[in-house]
Amino acid sequence: MKFLHTSDWHLGRSLYGRKRYEEFGAFLDWLLETIEAEAIDVLLVAGDIFDTSTPSNRAQTLYYQFLCKVARTCCQQVVIIAGNHDSPSFLNAPKDLLRALNVHVIGSKCDAPEDEVIVLSVPSRQRKGEDHAIVCAVPYLRDRDVRTVEPGETIDDKNRKLVDGIQSHYREVTEIAEEKRRQLQENTAEDYVNIPILAMGHLFTAGGKTVDGDGVRELYVGSLAHVGKETFPSSIEYLALGHLHVPQVVGGSDHIRYCGSPIPMGFGEAKQQKQVLLVSLDHSGLVVQERHVPCFQKLERVVGSLDDLLMRIETLKSHENSYWLEVEYTGREVLGNLREVLEEALEGSQIEILRIKNRRVMDRVIKAVTAEETLDDLEPTDVFSRCLDTYEVPEDERAELVLSYKEIIKDLLEEDVRGD
């Protein structure tokens, strides 16, 4: 049985105001071609299907059209879990309808853990009958899903309970999967008793790598809630993870992997080779292969003095490709007409500047929002930090205030606005 692991599509995400639907559509078309070319049996999508809990009509169209098209390919089953960007109720709403297309959707932690354990059957390529696999489809686990709040808890107490709750949930669903495997094996021919257990998740593992500007939200208030590989039961033969946009192996364990986002979500990811993962599980063991995703829109970050910027622009123009640029000016001279100069240099090319960071202007008025500094330059914690500066809050009082503020932000981000 062959699986394809992908995640973090973030359909509907824009980049400094530019819509990216053509990129998303090109990726999904490429994914369909790859499914056919590699004879994929099962597609695993590990969360963050959409970029927001209220996706646009066009983002929804891309999603549903893709699911209809994949049902007409060799792919027999699709398993989708929600990520922290997704609305659980929105993903769950059509789940019964999508089951007719053999699409299994788990939008939130189920009241009955066995509902997250999916037994898959596909026609066998080696023999008459069917091959089986079991998937523990664990969605993004919100704070309230895995811990109870008690008065007087410290931040360490909260994080410890989060990790314990995540570990307990994976242990529970995996035990159910093991029991289902035993039942299947009792009813399966002796020569074909290998029934792999896979799991899915959307979370932040200890030591996970991120890059600036990737839009990855910190899932928990502190860093202690980053789970280690020991969180996951040993009976899991492959763990398909989502959330981190950088492809990576967790803790040196080849069977626990992030595939990463399929297109760069920001300029910090522009140099990454994006990929999906092909996973084969049979009597010979686990085989994981990378399949590189083509670049559908070139991004380039250009940094330097005005001469450096103009020189790099001329080089890019000679490539005769379409580029989106993020420009950071670091020269000594304060230039008030920087954009005009750069736009003039770009005339006649397919290059477009999406953002300019005029570092010299920003340095002059670092504590004030200027014509060159927008909210795009600031994180929510930066805004809060400036509020603390404005009201001259003493340093020894700030740590607790910042933690409380982060907890409020997390609760707001986890609210399912479509829940009613």
Is 185 inside a domain boundary? yes
Domain end among 250, 267, 292: 292
Q: How confident is the model at residue 355 (pLDDT cuts 50, 70, 90)?
A: very high
pLDDT of residue 418 exceeding 70, the answer is: no
Whether residues 279 and 409 share a domain: the answer is no
Domain boundary residue, one of 250, 266, 292? 292
pLDDT in tens, 126-136: 777 788 999 99
| Length in residues, the chain | 420
Q: CATH number, domain at 118?
A: 3.60.21.10
- pLDDT beyond 80 at 363: no
Task: Read off the pLDDT of residues 40-50 as tens digits, 9 standing for 90 and up.
Answer: 999 999 999 99
Report which secondary-structure segment, H or E, holds 43.
strand 42-46
**Residue 419 in domain:** no
Element housing 89 (H / E): helix 88-92
In-domain check, residue 111: yes
Tell me which of 139 and 127 has the higher pLDDT. Answer: 139
Considering the domain architecture, whether residues 272 and 304 belong to the same structural domain is answered as no
Say yes or no to pLDDT of 224 above 50: no
- Residue 30 phi/psi, 5-degree rounding, is -65, -40
* Phi and psi at residue 197, to the nearest 5°: -110, 120
Question: Are 48 and 59 in contact, with CB atoms under 8 Å apart?
Answer: no
What does the pLDDT read at residue 367?
46
Looking at the structure, do residues 250 and 284 belong to the same domain, yes or no?
Answer: yes
- pLDDT tens sequence across 404-414: 787 777 666 66
Helix (H, G, I), strand (E, B) or coil at 254: strand
Domain limits for position 178: 2-292
Note whether 94 and 118 are same-domain residues.
Answer: yes
Which of 292, 315, 339 represents a domain boundary (last residue)? Answer: 292
Q: Are residues 272 and 313 in the same domain?
A: no
Are 318 and 179 part of one and the same domain? no
118: which strand partners? 135
Q: What is the DSSP string of 96-107?
A: HHHGGGTEEEE-
Q: Rounded to the nearest 5°, which phi and psi values hold at 84?
A: -70, -20
- Provide the domain count of the chain: 2
Amino acid at 216: V
Percent of the chain topping pLDDT 90 = 60
Which residues neighbour 333 within 8 Å (Cβ) at sequence distance 6 or greater? 306, 360
Higher pLDDT, 114 or 390: 114
Q: Are 276 and 291 in contact (CB under 8 A)?
A: yes
Q: How far is CA 220 from the centre of its chain?
A: 15
C-beta of residue 405 within 8 angstroms of C-beta of residue 387? no
pLDDT in tens, 75-102: 999 999 999 999 999 999 999 999 999 9
280 and 327 co-located in one domain: no
* Average of per-residue pLDDT values in the chain: 87
- Asked if 222 contacts 156 with a C-beta cutoff of 8 angstroms, the reply is yes
Tell me if 163 sits within 8 A of 155, measured CB to CB: no
Residue 326 belongs to domain with CATH number: 3.30.160.720
Are residues 64 and 24 in contact, defined by beta-carbon separation less than 8 angstroms? no
The Cα–Cα gap between 267 and 298 comes to 10
- Do both 327 and 280 map to the same domain? no
Whether residue 336 is predicted with pLDDT greater than 60 in this model: the reply is yes
Q: Indicate if 315 and 287 belong to the same structural domain.
A: no
Q: Kindly state whether residues 285 and 199 are assigned to the same domain.
A: yes
In-domain check, residue 420: no
Judgement on whether residues 269 and 306 belong to the same structural domain of the protein: no
The verdict on 47 and 71 lying in the same domain is yes
